[in-house]
Amino acid sequence: MNQQEPAETLSVEQARAAISRNINPIVATELSSLRAALGRVLAEDIISPINVPAADNSAMDGYALAGKVLDSDAPCRLNIVGGAFAGRPFIGSVDAGTCIAITTGALLPAGCDTVVPQELALDATATYVNLRPADIGLLASLGMADVPVMRRLRVAFFSTGDELRSIGETLEPGCVYDSNRYTLQAMLTRLGCEAVDLGVVRDDPEALEATLRRACVEADAVVTSGGVSVGAADYTRQIMAQLGAVDFWKIAMRPGRPMAFGRIASEGHSAYLFGLPGNPVAVMVSFYMIARDALLYLSGAKVAPLPLLSVPTRTTIRKKPGRTEFQRGFLVPDEQGRAAVSLTGPQGSGILRSMSEANCMVVLPHDCGDVEAGQAVDVMLFDGLI
């Protein structure tokens, strides 16, 4: 006997519907870790407990401002009064005629409704140009396996002083661990230099001359710490003059007054020499304020002045006219929530803690005297510098 076909033939859609009418889903549920939840079916709706994003933020690196200032066809020049970073918002509002530097993902502060992309801010202060991860990806997208670049600048560095000991050595009475070489190596590495550590050189003219001659052969530039003052055991400037020329060795700045610069030569090789002071803070300040730009320029990088922010000081700052001072500070909000700066305590050039606890440098100009609490001072943020 032949089996009869159904009187009504269902379409695919009808068949699917028929199946769905006759089945029921399972009701048991379980918890799964997020890492193991790929491909699983949610048992209930998920409602976000927070707003995403939590507030207006920037979709690009650039400058945040009030858009109404751009209504005119005339060029717009605004003062940069601060910066906002992802996870570190700018404290306070942005007034008319000002703007802030802002990075992708950073919250827009009060008073801002516009972000001008960094590349469209024609006169904005920049740092230096090098290949970033995005640039590497862009080159890869062009199928370029090789790219011409500047050779890394080779910089030899060493410390001078009979009292210095390297980490791991025994400290005899009157001796201290040498922190300057480690600070210098870190700062040079941050600049992209190839750092050549020549160790600690004792206070002996022959040992110093031998090390400087070796540095000439091995490096493009030499950075030393200590030995450039006028003490009985300070020989760096003297040996510099024998091997080449000393362009200067004193700067009206604090810290960092005894700093030598010149060029030395040996065995057909020559190198620029930056003789930094011996005190740890003076080493860092003189490096960043004097040597840094020169080393970047030697590296082939584009160099622009580091940006300064004008903020009120929370305390009175004592200063004598006639020298530029770089005091270590910490940028914090004042009672009204606006950015203000405080000093990090004692400012002695041997107190490295004053740098470690700081997030900015208070820059006091040459002719400036005492600064009263509430007065505006220029600060240079460490973020991106140190």
| Residue ranges in the chain whose pLDDT is less than 50 | 1-7, 124-130
CATH 2.40.340.10 fits 309-381, yes or no: yes
Confirm whether 62-120 and 309-381 share one CATH topology.
no
pLDDT digits (tens, 9 = 90+) for 140-176: 666 656 666 778 899 999 999 999 999 889 989 889 9
Task: Provide the CATH topology of domain 62-120.
Answer: Molybdopterin biosynthesis moeA protein; domain 3 (2.170.190)
Q: 154-298: which CATH number, 3.40.309.10, 3.40.980.10, 3.40.50.2020, 3.40.1390.10?
A: 3.40.980.10
pLDDT digits (tens, 9 = 90+) for 339-383: 999 999 888 888 888 998 999 999 999 999 999 999 999 999 987
The dihedral through the CA atoms of 160, 166, 172, 175 has a sign that is positive
- Rounded CA gap, 40 and 25, in Å? 15
User: How is the chain split into domains, by residue range?
Assistant: 62-120, 154-298, 309-381
In this predicted structure, what is the pLDDT of residue 314? 92
pTM: predicted TM-score of the whole model, two decimal places: 0.64
